[in-house]
Structure 1
Amino acid sequence: MKMPQYLLRAIFVLLAAAAPLAIPLLSGSVPAAGAFDWPRFGAWLCCLVGMLGLFVLAGLKIRRRVLGVLVDERNRYSLSRLQISLWTVLVLASVYVVFVVNVVRGDARLALVVDLDPNLIMLMGLSVASFVTAPMVLSLKTMQPADASELARTGRQLRDAQDLDAMPSATGRVLVKNNPGDARLADFIRGEDIGNANVVDLPRLQMLLITAVVVLAYGGAIGHILGTGASFLVELPKLSSTVLLLVLVSHGGYIAGKLIPTSPAVPAAAPQYGARALQASQRAASLAADLQVRLDAGVAGDSRLDWLRSGLALSQGLAAEAAALPGRFAGVEFKPEELANLEGRIDALRASLGAQPGAPSGREIYDAPSPATVSKVQQRLCDLGYAGVRVSGIADAATERAIGVEFAKLGIDRADLHPRPFRYFEETAQLIG
């Protein structure tokens, strides 16, 4: 029984590793300029088939399913496993074929000088981040008690709809199938909580569709450049920042969607913070797209380019930070002020978008206080009779003067407070509140 398995494994290893080297060697001369490069394209297809075949054999060996590598510890098909597997196979196969064919056709010392697009590396990093973060976020629901009648009702509905061999169980409120054979493709888009396991989870559906479109489009771009590009390739196709931001938004929705409660057992604060974090991630991603457009439209010598570049990097970082924040909501170290500060930094960066040279620096934007906190301080100052102070959420000169007067009355020295503006206003709100 083991002989066919060993034979198949050997065949797939040869397709993945040896065929990409043998095909260009046996093809002889390099295709003429303008002709389709069938040897390199064929080597790439063989490598893809070989890698996918090894994934299939691993799934059959461990889970006894063709797509067994995508089945997680809850015996469900995992969307994060699907995404990381697709990008791993596509990128590794492409890089390996380019390297091998460059060695055969050119100078071996230069064959490995192939540039990978930073956006592509970031996209793969997002896949890994989702793969690691998703179970951590979902573990919050494993600590919540499940209603026995709800679990029984959901289990019966799921068993009948998917023709399961065994009745599902639950860890906390997280649904668990008791047999790897009960994994179904519908798991990619169904909820994971016993309250939504029988309905379509829209964030998961969005992430699945975006992943499919991006993988197919980028795979087509790679196939095109392998077939029609120069005989000696030095780079893979570029991945636009717009596509990267689209994927980032889908990851943020995917992670935040795991926090959406389906019963009163979930604390009421969680959905509020989850919605705010998702909105903050989307706003930062949209802002990054705006900055990228402005940066692309800039010309050499434009004095705005430096702060546009720093603003783009900062907005991308803010989007990623907001997307990862829901994973910490249940931790004792999480403070609501962190989310408010994040929103304030996004607001400050957006306010600087149309500025001329002299726009706020990245450090100033990073330290920006939350508009909600500033408004709270300004409202208190208005209540104390400071007519020149307006509740605008912006720390203007009138607000600073009024704070100074109040500190003088209280005998407080500004140097004794936190130097960073966002912490300074939080302390001020407590001192004069």
Structure 2
Amino acid sequence: MSLLALKGSPALVWIAALAGMVLCLAAAGQSVTGRWMGVLIDERNVMSLSRFQLLAWMALVLSSLLAVAWVRLFAGLPDALAIDVDFGLWVLLGVSTLSLVGSGALLKARAGAPADTARLEPPQQLLALQGTPVDEVSHLGSLYANRTAAAATWSDLITGEQVVNAAHVDVARLQLLVFTLLVLLAYAAEFIPFFFSTPAHQLGTKFPGLSVSLVALIAISHAGYLAAKVSR
């Protein structure tokens, strides 16, 4: 089905835009790291929680913007590109971006700190029991690292970032991941009636709203996530 054939179906345009966004991110990761989820892998060769949550929101928001613009343009509606995005969504994206930048700065400081090599062996043994080859385990300062991108796993999103806690669940990271997924799914569900129940010639420019409570939930989770990084 061509893109022109999709012009009368907001739902199909949205699905196609979201799928295209995900494929572009996957292709970028594959071309650089040799893995489809490579865009989530940072310089320590581990999956980055900050990258995951920012890219997830980016994919949802940009695909929705493209879908609305495409449908309204082909429907011949006036001011097709004058899309009104909810202010709370901009706040959420800003918080996510600041969290990514702040997390990177804190990790850079940790990477420059000297590592206590005597404390490396116990975590390595535990990681080996969990299936991580010992020869893949490395470190940057006091931070846990993998020698290659191939060793990065999804569990990196919820485990500690330092060598001493890399084999254990980090509650602050787990909380941020759970809250991000819940809010992301809740907001994505708002687009179902927006795209699936609205004819192309009636598709408005105002995005579904994001409640203050949801924005506050994510902001508090990010604050706790960064505070946990500072305290360790």
Question: Do they superpose with TM above 0.5?
Answer: yes
User: Does residue 64 of structure 2 align to residue 94 of structure 1?
Assistant: yes
Q: CA deviation at 1:159?
A: 3.2
Partner of 1:127: 96
Give matches, 1:401-416, under 5 Å: none
Structure of greater relative contact order (alpha carbons < 8 Å, 6+ residues apart): 2
State whether residues 151 and 169 of structure 1, in contact with CA within 8 Å, keep that contact through their aligned partners in structure 2.
no
Residue 170 (structure 1) aligned to one of 139, 143, 161: 139
Which residue number in structure 1 is paired with residue 221 of structure 2? 250
Contact 2:44 2:140 in 1 (8 A): no
Q: d(CA) in 2 for partners of 1:44 and 1:99?
A: 10
- Offset, 1:94: 0.3
**Equivalent residue for 1:143, pick from 112, 119, 143:** 112
Q: Tell me the CA shift for residue 165 of structure 1.
A: 6.9
Amino acid at match of 2:175: Q
Task: Give the alignment partner of residue 104 of structure 1, picking from 58, 61, 74.
Answer: 74
C-alpha displacement of 1:141 = 2.1
* Contact 2:124 2:134 (8 Å CA) reproduced: no
Q: Are 2:199 and 1:239 equivalent residues in the alignment?
A: no
Q: Report if the CA contact (8 A) 1:159-1:167 is conserved.
A: no
Return the alpha-carbon distance in structure 2 between the equivalents of residues 229 and 207 of structure 1.
Answer: 33
CA shift for structure 1 position 203: 0.6
Read off the aligned partner of 1:228 and give its amino acid letter: S
Structure 2 residue 6 is matched with structure 1 residue 23: yes
5+ residue gaps, structure 2: none
Measured in 2, the distance between the counterparts of 1:139 and 1:59 equals 22
- SS of the equivalent of 1:91 reads helix
**Corresponding position: 1:83 with 2:53:** yes
Structure 2 length-normalised TM: 0.93
Aligned sequence identity (%): 33
| Structure 1 spans left out of the alignment, 5+ residues | 1-14, 28-38, 262-433
The Cα shift of 1:150 comes to 1.0
Q: 8 Å contact 2:18–2:63 — kept in the other structure?
A: yes
Aligned counterparts, 1:242-391, within 5 A: 242-261=213-232
Mapping of 1:5-20 within 5 angstroms? Answer: 19=3
Given the two structures, how large is their TM-score scaled by the length of structure 1?
A: 0.51
Could you tell me which amino acid in structure 2 is paired with residue 60 of structure 1?
Q
2:15 aligns with one of 38, 45, 52: 45
Partner of 1:153: 122
Secondary structure of 2:230's counterpart equals coil
Asked which structure has the greater CA Rg, the reply is 1
Q: How many residues align?
A: 230
The aligned amino acid for 1:160 is L
Residue 149 (structure 1) shift: 2.0
Contact residue 136 and residue 151 of structure 2 kept, 8 A: no
Instruction: Name the structure 2 match of 1:184.
Output: 153
Looking at structure 2, the residues matched to 125 and 22 of structure 1 have their Cα atoms a distance apart, in angstroms, of 36
The equivalent of 2:28 in structure 1 is 58
- Name the aligned partner's letter for residue 216 of structure 1: L
Q: 2: distance between equivalents of 1:164 and 1:93? A: 38
User: C-alpha root-mean-square deviation of aligned residues, in Å?
Assistant: 1.7
Deviation at 1:22, TM superposition (A): 3.8
Structure 1 residue 136 displacement after superposition = 0.6
Query: Partners of 1:167 and 1:110 in 2: how far apart?
Result: 54
Q: How does 1:191-202 map to 2 (within 5 A)?
A: 191-202=160-171
Contact 1:77 1:185 (C-alpha < 8 Å) held by counterparts:
yes
SS of 1:175 mapped into structure 2: strand
Which deviations, in whole Å up to 9, do the C-alpha atoms of 1:321-351 show, x marking residues without a partner?
xxxxxxxxxxxxxxxxxxxxxxxxxxxxxxx
